[in-house]
Amino acid sequence: MDFELTKEQSMIRNMVRDFAEDVIQPRAVEMDTKAEFPLDIFEQMGELGLLGIPFPEEYGGSGGDTLSYAIAVEEIGRICGGTGLSYAAAVSLGASPIYYFGTEEQKKEYLLPLAEGKALGAFGLTEPNAGSDAGGTKTTAVEDGDDYVINGEKCFITNASFAKTVIVTAVTGKNDKGKNIISAIIVPTDTEGVKITSNYDKMGVRASDTAEVILDNVRVPKENLLGDPQKGFKQFLYTLDGGRISIAALGLGIAQASLERALNYAKERKQFGKSISDFQAVQFKLADMSMEVELARNMVYKAAWLKDHNKPFTKESAYAKLYATETAFRAANQAIQIHGGYGYMREYEVERYLRDAKLLEIGEGTSEIQRLVIARQLGC
């Protein structure tokens, strides 16, 4: 067992950490307060090759691996959860399905600009009545000549307002058992009938764009169908397995930030004539936070490693997502407690970590769904 990062992975970590601290950190509070999506920062990330880390160079990527990408998400999330979420969604959900299941033509036309960082992508799965029950999708795609005509509504879609393409899940027919066939279709956002609005006033991850997508008789050519039309559901389950690694990495980043802030504050804050880090009650909090952060890191990295080595990773990605995101919430909560009244104030930033962390227990499969996935993998 080798827990050392490779030279390339260490270089990526250092590069992303420097970029996050130098470019994102000075604006993190403002982006949260104003709920501003930092398009210029994503352009810079594209120029650095961050949006193409896990994709081959032939498709505009950097030729890196899942672990390198997870480390990048962790480092960005450590500074700004909202920026980290949009980064994770752009790669794992907006671009990865095209790499996994797309034709060569689709990869050249749609993946290339995403991996090169010249465009953003989004993934339209969630609907007003289809969240955890993704099989309850109501959006339809009806064949009409050489086209699909799509009608439906998607909600809580990350990056949609700034995306060039949205991969939409839609019912395309019935199988032999009478169940809905759900397929994935690439929809350019400038297609007639696509309406995207971003009116959500969110509790956290406010630097990330979250939008509603209305599809009103949207006509796209049949060649925009992604992968096997009969296996659309399985395809997006695989996509979500990979996406869970990145959300786990984001949780890890927030947990790490919470630990660092709490530790630094505890050493500086004086009460009863000494630093509060000298009090056992605070020491135990910091010890638990440190332990959980490291355990989360090991699980996130292991899930990424399994994926990179083409081994089954469904259960491990659920472990990682569940544990790392719940760790993020606990760590942020304890960081606020250690800060006392100051932790409740925006300027100390730990309250933002808590607000950002909460979404991670909901998005890309709630904590309850992760437990269900794990139980099923155990044969329950």
Residue (of 293, 307, 325, 253) closest to 73 by Cα position? 253
Q: Is 227 left (phi over 0), alpha (psi -120 to 50) or beta?
A: left
What is the C-alpha radius of gyration for the chain, rounded to an integer number of angstroms?
21
- The amino acid occupying position 35 is A
Active site includes 192?
no
**Marked catalytic residue, from 21, 105, 364, 368:** 364
Three-point CA angle 106, 109, 112, nearest 5°: 105
In whole angstroms, give the CA distance from residue 361 to residue 295. Answer: 17
Judge whether 227 and 185 are in contact, CB under 8 Å. Answer: no
Q: Which one, of 141, 121, 118, lies nearest residue 60 by Cα?
A: 118
Kindly give, in sequence order, each residue whose CB lies less than 8 Å from that of residue 113, ignoring residues fewer than 6 positions away.
60, 119, 164
171 phi and psi angles, rounded to 5 deg = -80, 125
Q: Which residues are catalytic?
A: 364
